[in-house]
């Protein structure tokens, strides 16, 4: 089940800011999960979406068997920066939209793949929805203690040329989550699953298959070692 965040893709774009607050979006994710979940469920999140993935894993511990976090960053509380670009008036943001999209594309893709993606839409969504989403990123409880409490096996996927998430933050997440493995992919940036789709798919599938064969014991916390397929 692929979910477009509110204000993005094919999802609706409410005008009120309240619908874009982290906890409101997290509750939406619970409703969707409860509607479509099966006996064994793997939750995957990218960037900001990784926060909703770990939220679901905590709220639905018995139903979530594995977690895959792509370009997620460190185990830190979410807080909307002030002041920031996203606090400018919407009319100004709309005028700046071409520059915002260009800047995002330059930072989200590594140099080797940026030209190949020049015609692809980046930061896909209505500017008003994106603005509310960025300003609604507040989750003070999403700290290292919360992430340390996760009991499911976790795969961290990181593009080595990510300019939006630092390697140090990703390594800190790896140290914090007990059943975590970090898989670094060369020649890829923040949009690693777009830049290296075959490699990311192989890594994720091998991770899931491994744990379907060897179900995790939630009462026993161990660090899982995994090399995965070659990323050449």
Cα(104)–Cα(146) distance, integer angstroms: 30
Cα(140)–Cα(23) distance, integer angstroms: 11
Residue 190 designated active-site? yes
Spatial neighbors of 153 by CB under 8 A, at least 6 apart, are 66, 67, 179, 180, 181, 207, 211, 216, 224
> Of these residues, 29, 122, 147, 162, which one is catalytic?
162
> Of these residues, 132, 161, 181, 190, which one is catalytic?
190
Residue 47 designated active-site? yes
Task: Count CA atoms within 13 Å of residue 119 on its CB side.
Answer: 1
> Of these residues, 29, 47, 51, 71, which one is catalytic?
47
Under 8 Å between Cβ of 177 and 151: no
The secondary element (H helix, E strand) that includes residue 130 is helix 127-135
Q: Report the interhelical angle of 49-59 vs 22-36 (nearest 10°).
A: 60
Residue ranges with strand state E in the chain: 41-46, 64-70, 154-159, 180-185
Instruction: Kindly list the distances between the CA atom of residue 221 and the CA atoms of 62, 210, 217, in Å, as whole numbers in the listed order.
Output: 16, 17, 8
Q: What is the largest CA-CA distance in the chain?
A: 54
Q: Cis ω on the peptide bond leading into residue 34 (within 30° of 0)?
A: no
Query: Which residues are catalytic, by number?
Result: 47, 162, 190
């Amino acid at each position: 089940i692929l979910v477009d965040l509110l204000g993005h893709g094919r999802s609706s774009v409410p005008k009120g800011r309240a619908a874009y607050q982290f906890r409101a979006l997290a509750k939406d994710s619970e409703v969707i999960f409860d509607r479509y979940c099966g006996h064994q469920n793997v939750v995957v999140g990218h960037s900001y979406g990784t926060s909703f993935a770990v939220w679901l894993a905590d709220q639905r511990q018995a139903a979530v068997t594995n977690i895959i976090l792509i370009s997620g960053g460190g185990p830190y509380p979410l807080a909307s920066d002030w002041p920031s670009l996203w606090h400018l008036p919407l009319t100004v943001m709309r005028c700046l939209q071409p520059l915002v999209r260009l800047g995002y594309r330059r930072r989200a893709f590594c140099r080797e793949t940026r030209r190949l993606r020049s015609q692809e839409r980046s930061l896909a969504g209505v500017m008003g929805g994106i603005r509310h989403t960025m300003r609604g990123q507040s989750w003070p409880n999403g700290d290292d203690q919360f992430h340390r409490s996760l009991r499911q096996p976790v795969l961290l996927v990181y593009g080595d040329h990510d300019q939006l998430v630092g390697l140090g933050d990703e390594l800190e997440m790896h140290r914090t989550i007990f059943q975590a493995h970090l898989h670094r992919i060369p020649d890829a940036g923040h949009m690693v699953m777009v830049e290296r789709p075959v490699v990311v798919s192989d890594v994720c599938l091998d991770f899931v298959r491994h744990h379907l064969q060897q179900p995790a014991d939630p009462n026993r916390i161990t660090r899982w070692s995994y090399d995965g397929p070659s990323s050449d």
